[in-house]
Amino acid sequence: MSTGALMLDLDGLVLDDAERTLLLRPEVGGLILFARNYDTPAQLSALMREIRALRPDLLVAIDQEGGRVQRLRKGVTRLPPMAVLGAHWRDDPAEAREWAQELGWLMATELRQFDIDFSFAPVLDLDWGRSGVIGDRAFADTPEVVATLASAFMAGMHEAGMAATGKHFPGHGWVRADSHLAIPVDERPLTDIATDLAPFEQLIAAGLDAIMPAHVIYSQLCDAPAGFSDYWLREQLRGRLGFDGVIFSDDLTMEGASVAGDFPARAQRALAAGCDMVLVCNHRAGALEVLEYLEQAAAPVSPRLVRMQARPPVTTAPGRTDRARRIAEALCKREA
Please tell me the predicted confidence (pLDDT) of residue 207: 98
Is residue 300's pLDDT more than 90? no
Mean pLDDT value across residues 111-123? 98
Confidence band of 298 (pLDDT split at 50, 70, 90): confident
Q: Catalytic pick from 127, 209, 250, 276?
A: 250
Mean pLDDT value across residues 207-218? 98
CA distance 321 to 309: 23
Mean pLDDT value across residues 81-107? 98
pLDDT digits (tens, 9 = 90+) for 248-273: 999 999 999 999 999 999 999 999 99
Q: Rounded to two decimals, what is the model's pTM?
A: 0.97
Is residue 62's pLDDT more than 80? yes
CA distance 303 to 325: 36
Q: Catalytic pick from 180, 251, 262, 276?
A: 180
Strand arrangement of the beta sheet that strand 59-62 belongs to: 118-119, 59-62, 28-33, 6-8, 277-279, 246-251, 210-213, 165-169
**Do the beta carbons of residue 172 and residue 134 sit within 8 Å?**
yes
Is residue 1's pLDDT more than 60? no
Helix (H, G, I), strand (E, B) or coil at 174: coil
Confidence band of 283 (pLDDT split at 50, 70, 90): very high
Start-to-end CA span in the chain (Å): 45
**Do the beta carbons of residue 213 and residue 200 sit within 8 Å?**
no
Please tell me the predicted confidence (pLDDT) of residue 2: 59
Is residue 121's pLDDT more than 80? yes
Please tell me the predicted confidence (pLDDT) of residue 304: 97
Range list of H helices, 62-189: 82-91, 93-112, 143-159
Helix (H, G, I), strand (E, B) or coil at 18: helix
CA distance 96 to 145: 10
Helix (H, G, I), strand (E, B) or coil at 162: coil
Is residue 219's pLDDT more than 60? yes
DSSP states along 303-321: GGGGGGS--PPPP--TTHH
Domains of the chain: 6-335 (3.20.20.300)
**Do the beta carbons of residue 218 and residue 172 sit within 8 Å?**
no
**Do the beta carbons of residue 112 and residue 166 sit within 8 Å?**
no
Rg (CA), the chain: 19
180 is catalytic: yes
Mean pLDDT score of the chain: 96
CA distance 291 to 285: 10
Please tell me the predicted confidence (pLDDT) of residue 38: 98
Is residue 181's pLDDT more than 70? yes
Mean pLDDT value across residues 80-86? 98
Please tell me the predicted confidence (pLDDT) of residue 317: 85
* 279, β-bridge pairs: 7, 251
Selection from 149, 142, 159 nearest residue 92 by Cα: 149
pLDDT digits (tens, 9 = 90+) for 126-155: 999 999 999 999 999 999 999 999 999 999
Angle at 126 between CA 94 and CA 135, to 5 degrees: 100
Is residue 315's pLDDT more than 90? no
CA 296 to chain centroid, in Å, comes to 28
C-alpha dihedral sign at 139, 145, 148, 151: positive
Mean pLDDT value across residues 271-300? 95
**Do the beta carbons of residue 39 and residue 68 sit within 8 Å?**
no
Share above pLDDT 70 across residues of the chain, in percent, rounded to a whole number = 99
* 30, β-bridge pairs: 7, 59
